[in-house]
A and B are shown apart, each in its own frame.
Chain A
Amino acid sequence: MTDILRAEKVTKRFGGLIAVNSIEFTIPDRSIVSLIGPNGAGKTTFFNIIAGIYDPTSGRIEFNSRPVIARPRRAWLEPVLWVLPPILLALAFFLIGANNTTVDLIGIVAMVATLVLVLLVGIVRPPWYERVLHRLGIFKSARPNDMVVAGLGRTFQNIRLFQNMTALENVLVGMHSRLHASWIDAILSTPRNRHEEEAARVRARELLALVGLKGRDELVAKNLPYGDQRRLEIARALGSNPVLLLLDEPTAGMNPRETIQLTNLIGKLRTDLGLTILLIEHDMRVVMEISDRVTVLDHGEKIAEGTPDEVRRNPKVIEAYLGAPPV
């Protein structure tokens, strides 16, 4: 079994606080790995680093054996690259035709044109541009949307649905990175755009049915009951066809019956869709039932790792949760 994600010595500091301290962590393909720990242990911070929201202070993360996340290197060089060509061009024109209005005008136009071109390239980031950056030793950590394109889906601890959009639209937004119609396709209403849109709607309805929201496609997200909102968030994350799904406390605030249903759903996601799942969870019944491996964090450090049974008997874990036994 290969590892889908490998974190090496990941550290994150916020000012003087070390939220995550030198964590080594791997997620094998098609497994369910849980991350547990008391409040404030750094679980969500670690999660956000994997999802590309924070850059780590040090260490790196490989996703599908590709280094995607690390502390940015020589990031200051990139804006310099953008501004340099227009300035050089302007200087050149100035030297050639000082006091000649026509030459000046051409120079100004050329400068603006190059600046726009360079900025566009810098924003669209075609592959050759990435190669140039790599050659110059510039490394930019992946942003959240890059991670989604690479195959990672996530949910949030405090539900972050698009409240005023319908359930179907929420899932369609989740599918955004897998749709390819450009704005030109959209304004020309090309066959490609229409077919893609129809197929996307069919797929979105399937996903909603999969998580148990059949027949609620047209309801506005904020009007859904709490449990359904959690399910909708999972459906939205599945929209991008992820290989790794990060679930941040998926059963928080649910009653026992709903918790069992959701646990079954998570198991089904692995068997039916072949997903790998990383779970943050406080409900130990859920964790112990479905996890292949459990990692325990406390104060930003990994204190235990192993099968659910091993972790349950680990004295360090008991101490972290219940306090040290009296001497």
Chain B
Amino acid sequence: MTATARPAAPPPRRAQLSRLRDVTDLHRSTTIIAVMAIVTVGMYFLPLFPPLSVIQQPGIWYDSFANAGVFVLLAMGLNVVIGMAGLLDLGYAAFFAIGAYTYAYSNSPFSGINLPFFPMLVVGAFVAAVFGILLGAPTLRLRGDYLAIMTLGFGEIVPIVFLNLDTYTLGTNGIGGLYRPEPLPLLGPFSAISPFNYFIVMVGIVTITMILLYRLQASRIGRAWNAIREDELAAAANGINTVTTKLLAFALGATTSGLAGVFNASKLTIVSPDQFLFTVSFTVLAMVILGGMGNIWGVAIGAFIVYMIQAVLLKNINTVLEAIHFPAFDLGPLHIDLVNVKFVEFQFLLYGVALVLMMLLRPEGLFPSQRRRQELHIAEDYDEGIEETTDVPVLPPVPPVDPSVHSGDRT
């Protein structure tokens, strides 16, 4: 067993890539800021020129980007809970709602209070975290399916509470006429007509959140989450307090969600219970799965793509078809008139198809993390591992263990 591993020399292209990866790993925060700056510049200029400017006005594009940012935030937050710590949370929209209502109370004619926007971002996130702890503390001792059911219940309860406590929340109508954030220096006031400010603020929030989440993932806490996801008993037997660690994941997921809620409320200027139904939780979950669970930037891109498809592409198919007077045609008994098909209504059908295809073809998601890929592609990795340690003597097979005798380990 004294043989040392001789890693085979990687091919040159791979070497370059891995050198790039080393640099980005070393200066991760700088890399994120640089990439986000390039992306922002791209997002600013692309809508001004033909392919995109034909579809929508630039202003509407910025508005869509800002809305997509809300879902990017939600997906990154849910990724902490599901992708990193491995806790299935089906009631994620509840924290989104709590963040939004927090902003509504602090900035509306209904409550008669007008507090500044940026501090409220922090407050909303904090309130959501408090509710995350409140829900998490009694339920995180549960595992797997039971936790999913509890969170699903919580996700249903919160909108219903907001709906029925109509003295405090105005019920179905929701709290409207929320004040917009104070004007930004240089960029001027926030308004529905020029949503550019929202876009810039969103980019800032997403960048900061991403940096913080990456740091967390690389830390001792991130490792502990990973360990819990892989084997909770072994994690506990190695000194990880599983209860507090899971609770932290839950609270941080809720924090991100609350942040998104505050932003969304200030942008829509109205909050009502029907914005926070199960479909939101489900959409975000689908985004996380499609993007590649566990990989922060993968999840962010996944959420962005899914939102753009549902909110821009599907909406505009009809507009485009109408604009070019797409002809209806008859195929015997079949009368096909694509102009009259409401493509937006096919959103969830598309999710379903996309998820099924995903599970069949690429179960680790579009942009998986290294680790998830390893988990789901056992055979390929196994071959690689053997290659790297060829001079290790072949060991005799493990003798079968009588399962009835030592069942003690499998609690």
On A, residues with C-beta under 8 Å from B are 19, 39-40, 44-45, 47-48, 51, 53-54, 101, 105, 112-113, 115-116, 119-120, 122-124, 143-145, 148-149, 154, 156-158, 160-165, 169, 172-174, 176-179, 181, 183, 185-189, 193, 197, 200, 212, 214-216, 219-220, 222-228, 231, 236-237, 239-240, 248, 252-255, 258, 261
Contacts and interface: CB of A to CB of B under 8 A. Distances in A.
A156 B411 CA distance: 12
Contacts of A145: 236-237, 239-242
Contacts of A183: 216, 219, 221, 248, 252
B237 A53 contact: yes
Contacts of B395: 225-227, 253-255, 258
Nearest to B132: A116
Contacts of A119: 133-134, 137-138
B4 interface: yes
B389 A164 contact: no
Of all A-B residue pairs in the complex, the 4 with the closest CB atoms, nearest first, are A223-B385, A177-B239, A186-B219, A148-B239
A212 B1 CA distance: 7
Contacts of A157: 401, 406, 409
Nearest to A178: B239
Contacts of B16: none
Nearest to B375: A164
Interface residues of B, number: 66
Nearest to B385: A223
B230 interface: yes
Contact of A160 (B233, B389, B392): B233
Contact of A51 (B219, B226, B237, B402): B237
Q: Interface majority SS on A: helix, strand, loop or mixed?
A: helix
Interface in B21-54: 29
B342 to A, nearest CB: 42
B164 to A, nearest CB: 14
Interface string B285-314: 000000000000000000000000000000
Contacts of A176: 220, 223-224, 227, 238-240
B381 interface: yes
Contacts of A236: 238
A164 B230 contact: yes
A252 B399 CA distance: 8
Contacts of A19: 408
Contacts of A222: 374, 378, 381-382, 385
B326 to A, nearest CB: 50
Nearest to B404: A40
Contact of A173 (B134, B240, B248, B405): B240
A115 B381 CA distance: 48
B143 interface: no
Given A39-B406, A162-B231, 7 more contacts: A54-B408, A186-B222, A187-B212, A212-B2, A220-B381, A223-B386, A258-B395
Contact of A158 (B138, B381, B409): B409
B5 interface: yes
Contacts of A48: 408-409, 411
Contacts of A193: 219
Given A145-B242, A176-B238, A186 B221 contact: yes
Contacts of B133: 116, 119-120
A23 to B, nearest CB: 15
A321 B137 CA distance: 49
Contacts of B242: 145
Contacts of B2: 212
B396 interface: yes
Contacts of B238: 148, 173-174, 176-177, 236-237, 239-240
B243 interface: yes
B130 interface: yes
B388 interface: yes
B399 A181 contact: no
B212 A172 contact: no
B216 A186 contact: yes
